[in-house]
Amino acid sequence: MSTLAIAPSTHELVLGRYRPVRPLGSGGSGSVWLACDERTGLDVALKIIPREGKAAARAEREALAARRLRHERCVRAYDVGHDSTHVYIAYEYVAGRTLRETMRMEDLSDDDAVEIAAQVLDALAHAHRTGIVHRDVKPSNLLLEEGDELAVRLLDFGLAQFDGADTLTAVGDVPGTLAYIAPERLAGAEATPESDVWAVGVLLWETLAGRHPFWGVPLQEVARAIEAGAPPLVSERRDLPRRLLAAVDGALARDPGRRPRASALASELRNALRTGGVRPAARRPQATEAGATGAHLLVRRLVPPSLAGVSAALGATMLPFWPPALVAAIIISSALAAWRLPRVGFAIALAAPIFPLGNVAESAAVLYGILALAWLAFTWRDARFGLLFASGPLLAPLGLLALVPLVVQPARGVVRRTAQAALALLAATLYAGVAGDDLPLTGASASRLDITPQASVGEIADVMWEAALRDPILLLGAGALGLAAAILPLARRRSRYG
């Protein structure tokens, strides 16, 4: 059923308290709207399901499961009700995107992939203790919260099974998504907590290997491939620690009795993360999942080395007397390093301006080094896109600084996006001053900075601050770009609750 077919009126209250604002998304079971709870003033995600066939019973079952769960990794259900045509579930509104969307848009680092799985297992362990089996754990039912810290929410308990409750599926039905269903369920066995653990094992294998363990075969043979079991992860990732490989393989044991409990697997994954030296995902093959075309993957793969090369070029060419061969070597080494090891390429590109600045004043190089280290630490978990601010010096001469908020959107978290956009204008200003070009926004000639070779770090900082105050439009512009980068996702966000 289409979203329009069950679109509520924005002028009437649903269940006497929820005012629909705008649609968030739709799925096979119905649609989800952002709504305002007129009684509490809170935003909620209002799920609307038509009362047709089994859909209404599953919706009420979903609400019952969600209301029983009280865990930070489970989306809470505040209320459930119905009228003659629809069932309504009011969930807490959580801004973010699904794991499937994230996998299509960017490469997850190995440590992020492991932590995501561990957080999902935390949620499942809580559900299992309350007698609930999810039965449909998959990337599109996992929501990564908007923000700087990695936080996962488990969605959609519409297929959940309760201890002692009647099943809603007919004899022979296998509810859930085939690619993540455990082999014993294909044989007709009931879903168990171990079935959920299998699903987490599949998605962890997928995120670490860059492909799904059971894709690549004709659809009619997928069930046979699942029954045969997933290949050992070591066949795809020999570089991973043995402890992590063993944990993933244990979750994918064909015998459900040999799989660990969700809580035990979460602990083992985190221990492997702490002791095994898990490396960034740039070393693993690229995903071949549906919806991610070869061209899209190539563009995504080229972003970090391109950013590193451009940033290194901007820094290395600040002094015109450097030999072209040396400049080329810095650019190439930075780009190649970013291709294989994004954090290494990131560090090389950030270090490129140190020597040119040292020719102006040693303290200038020291001050820049301190700021570069702070930026490196700030964006370390998002190193693939840590150099997006380098778009500023490229776009400013073309009069295209307004595109900066869009360019920095791949950065993770509103704080990082805001900082990247603001820094893009400041970097463009600094580069224009060094190169003798007109300043962005104002078009004025860059004021000469009164920096002597003997100046201290504090004196240089004072000079830079005074120069910024002379042109307050630049600081205001940086703030405006940062604000635009922060609020842009609000206009485009489509949370997938449906």
- In tens, the pLDDT along 27-58 reads 666 788 899 999 998 899 898 888 876 766 77
Is 136 noted as a catalytic residue in this protein? yes
CA distance 324 to 331: 11
What percent of the chain is predicted at pLDDT more than 90? Answer: 20
392: helix, strand or coil: helix
Q: What does the pLDDT read at residue 5?
A: 46
Choosing from 136, 156, 196, 382, the catalytic residue is 136
Q: What is the average pLDDT value for the chain, to the nearest integer?
A: 78
Query: Using an 8 Å Cβ cutoff, are 215 and 289 in contact?
Result: yes
Which has more confidence, 414 or 114? 114
* 292: pLDDT strictly greater than 70: no
Which has more confidence, 18 or 398? 18
The model's confidence at residue 15, banded by pLDDT at 50, 70 and 90, is: confident
Mean pLDDT of 115-139: 93
Q: What does the pLDDT read at residue 248?
A: 97
Which has more confidence, 304 or 86? 86
Q: What does the pLDDT read at residue 1?
A: 43
Q: What tens digit of pLDDT does each residue of 355-368 get?
A: 777 777 788 788 88
Mean pLDDT of 242-253: 96
Classify domain 4-92 at the CATH class level: alpha beta
State the DSSP string of 301-315: HHHHHHHHHHHHHHH
**What is the dotted CATH code of the domain comprising 96-283?**
1.10.510.10
The model's confidence at residue 152, banded by pLDDT at 50, 70 and 90, is: very high
CA atoms within 13 A on the CB side of 405: 18
Q: What does the pLDDT read at residue 171?
A: 33
Q: What does the pLDDT read at residue 451?
A: 64
CB neighbour burial string for 304-321, b if at least 16 within 10 angstroms, e if fewer: bbbbbbbbbbbbbbbbee
Q: Where are the domains of the chain?
A: 4-92, 96-283, 294-492
Q: What does the pLDDT read at residue 443?
A: 66
Task: For the chain, give the number of residues.
Answer: 498
CA distance 497 to 31: 8
The model's confidence at residue 263, banded by pLDDT at 50, 70 and 90, is: very high
Lowest mean pLDDT among 255-269, 319-333, 408-422: 319-333
Tokens matching residue 237: 């990732």
The model's confidence at residue 444, banded by pLDDT at 50, 70 and 90, is: low
Q: What tens digit of pLDDT does each residue of 153-211 get?
A: 998 765 445 444 433 333 333 344 788 999 999 888 888 999 999 999 999 999 998 88
CA 120 to each of CA 137, 197, 206, 263, 377: distance values in angstroms, whole numbers, following the listed order: 9, 10, 15, 10, 27
Q: What tens digit of pLDDT does each residue of 210-236 get?
A: 889 987 777 778 888 999 899 999 988
Q: What tens digit of pLDDT does each residue of 310-355 get?
A: 777 776 666 556 677 777 877 787 777 777 677 787 788 888 777 7
Which has more confidence, 243 or 489? 243
Q: What does the pLDDT read at residue 447?
A: 58
